[in-house]
Amino acid sequence: MKIDNAPKRYLPFIKGTYQVAAGLAVLKPDTKIFDFDQTSLDYLEGKVKARDEDLSKYYVRGKVKDHELKFILRFIARTLAREYPNYFKLVENDEVMRLECLLTDEYLNYDDAYFDAHNSSLLYDYKDGLDAMVSQIPDDVAIWRREQTKEFLALAHLCAPNHWDPNDKVGKSFNEVHAPVGDWQSELAPKAQALVSTMIEKGPYERFAWGLATDDRLNHHPRPPAGIELSQWQGRNFSKENPALFVRVERQVLCPFSELGLGLSLFFIRTYFYDVLELSIQERAQLVSALKGMSAQTLHYKGLSSSQGEIIEYLEGLNS
């Protein structure tokens, strides 16, 4: 099935400054949680490649109970059917649910919290019901959990990782997960508990994060597949002689489950790439301004410490 929607343009650097901030904006009633466009099938293919390589690198399930997944699966299925009725058909009652996925020609059957793989039509041997469900969407998925005074990353299904490994993060607190982020300790670490409470109790919210890459490959897991050198894989090798540069933007949507008495927040991550050659002169100028304002810690975190000057020179050359 063909998807005609053109990719959206999200340019969070457009103010010409870079900030490490929560940046949570309440999702407007007419804004969709999921974004299906002409590139979405490429994202689904990326999940197939991750599965073929080694799904355990990309899907880590920690402390999430089956009855909790029931609510999460129904939320995703209902949202897909409501936002994209041409691509997803849902039939359900209090106990069973069937989601027909027209983009992949699969249908998924669930009996309460149990994934009924035997009576589903599947292209792949999915690990569980959540794996099957999120393999129908272009987004990566994470679940944050709060238990009394503890909070931690409880699950990550991350087939388009941006230089982080879910195996290193699941089970860790919000501050521990984000500790490598440039300027995190000074800007957001003191607010971590309040941020987690906001994610779990309020919303849904939308926020954006961005960086630069020298390719437009979705998967930048810190461990490359067998037979590929890290220098080839990492996507942070800017060359003046053969320049290629993309703004990598993550649209993140945070959905709470507080009304169900669950201390959970469902976190969707959708990645976009924008070739700097396709930006306007003004957009490139704002990108340069944001790059110049990055701290040394942020440049290190984003892999730009050694290439910042060359990239700025390249972008300014495009505008001259």
pLDDT digit string (tens) for 101-152?
Answer: 999 999 999 998 899 999 999 999 999 999 999 999 999 999 999 988 899 9
What's the order of all strands across the beta sheet hosting 106-111?
88-92, 96-101, 106-111, 114-115
Structure tokens at 207: 């926020």
Name the phi and psi angles at 251, rounded to 5: -95, 120
Structure tokens at 212: 């630069």
Average pLDDT for the chain:
95
The Cβ of residue 46 has, within 10 Å, a number of other Cβ atoms equal to: 19
Q: Hey, which residues does 91 pair with through a beta bridge? A: 98
Instruction: Report helix, strand or coil for 275.
Output: strand
| Residue in 191, 156, 187, 188 with CA at minimum distance from that of residue 171 | 156
Output the pTM of the full model: 0.95
Cα distance from N-terminal residue to C-terminal residue, the chain: 43
Structure tokens at 198: 């906001």
Name the phi and psi angles at 66, rounded to 5: -60, -40
User: Is a pLDDT exceeding 90 seen at residue 30?
Assistant: yes
In tens, the pLDDT along 32-60 reads 999 999 999 999 999 999 999 999 999 99
pLDDT at 262: 82
174: pLDDT confidence band, cut at 50, 70 and 90? very high
pLDDT at 151: 94
Structure tokens at 125: 């041997």
Cα Rg for the chain, rounded, in angstroms?
20
In tens, the pLDDT along 217-254 reads 999 999 999 999 988 898 999 999 999 999 999 999 99
